[in-house]
Structure 1
Amino acid sequence: MSDTKKTEGLRPGWQPGQSGNPKGRPKGSRNRVTVVALAAMEEGADAIARKVVDMAKQGDMSAARLVLERLVPPAKERPVYLELPDMDTAAGIAEAQQAVLQAVADGELLPGEAATLAGIVEARRKAVETLELEQRITALEGKK
């Protein structure tokens, strides 16, 4: 066995395990391969876009779908206008739930929109229920 130590090949003043760059890579800096790939894509982006549009015009449905997805992104939400009754009572909340159900049945609301509205009506129901329970408890405590 050799008596040489592993530290002989190190630069003077450096200890084993000590980094040559203690601050590390600067935040936001990109890997060299990523920078090269992005530059290559930017260089040919116009030509690629034209080719995809040409393919879509020739009937390539995959290319057409790609073009449409980029030009017209799917709508996430839309405003909903629905006349709801006063929801200060349990009867009013039941009427509101019926109105939401009827709007779906009539095709005025999509099922996902109705689910969102039903969640809002349910939150209102819980609030009214909590308020009524609080009033009843206060009344019972006042009788004692």
Structure 2
Amino acid sequence: MTGRFQKGQSGNPRGKQPGLRSELARKIDGLLEDEAEALISKAIDLAKAGDIGALRLCLERLAPVRKDRPVVFPIPEINSTADVVKASAALLQAVASGELTPSEAAELGKLVEAHVRAIEVTEIQDRLVRLEDMGMGGKR
């Protein structure tokens, strides 16, 4: 038996529209919404009675695990690509001294790298303008 569609071709080539939810998901949401207060009360009662799973669920809602935190670290000012060496050395020293974790320093390093790329693009643009001005006899 052959299907309605050619092999390797989807019946919906554009795919599901973003944000479109299935009928089942909408029904489940409706049921949960209608019973939300009772379910929350039950979870709290179970947690109070010592149910570890319910306790974990309640605590995760009250105090979710932080995925990020502010990092206070004075990075040396970066005004040119030459300044990146000072910033990088400061990050390495902070990791070596335990002031920053390696992952915190890596994230800060990504910010430094993005800032340096922005400086490089600006410097290239400035050089290009100067070269164009020289090629046009200084006329613009």
Q: TM-score per shorter chain, which class?
A: 0.5 to 0.7
Match of 2:95 in 1: 104
How far 1:40 moved relative to its partner?
A: 3.9
Structure 1 residues without counterparts, runs of 5 or longer: 1-27
How far 1:31 moved relative to its partner?
A: 5.0
Match of 1:17 in 2: none
Matched, 1:75 2:63: no
Match of 2:83 in 1: 92
| Bigger Cα Rg | 1
TM-score (norm 1): 0.53
User: 4+ residue stretches of structure 1 with deviation over 6 A?
Assistant: none
TM-score (norm 2): 0.55
Alignment of 1:21-32 (within 5 A): 31=23
Aligned-residue Cα RMSD (Å) equals 3.8
**Residue-pair matches, total:** 112
Counterpart-to-counterpart distance in 2, 1:41 and 1:112: 39
Distance 1:59 1:102, change over 3 A: farther
Question: 2:87 corresponds to which letter in structure 1?
Answer: A
Counterpart-to-counterpart distance in 2, 1:40 and 1:88: 57
Match of 2:106 in 1: 115
Counterpart-to-counterpart distance in 1, 2:73 and 2:85: 15
Counterpart-to-counterpart distance in 2, 1:85 and 1:32: 55
1:16-53 CA-to-partner distances (Å, cap 9, x unmatched) read: xxxxxxxxxxxx9x959945x54543443223222222
Distance 1:91 1:63, change over 3 A: same
Match of 1:16 in 2: none
- Out of 38, 41, 47, the residue aligned to residue 47 of structure 1 is 38
Alignment of 1:4-43 (within 5 A): 31=23, 34-35=26-27, 37-43=28-34
SS at match of 2:65: coil
Match of 1:64 in 2: 55
How far 1:67 moved relative to its partner?
A: 0.9
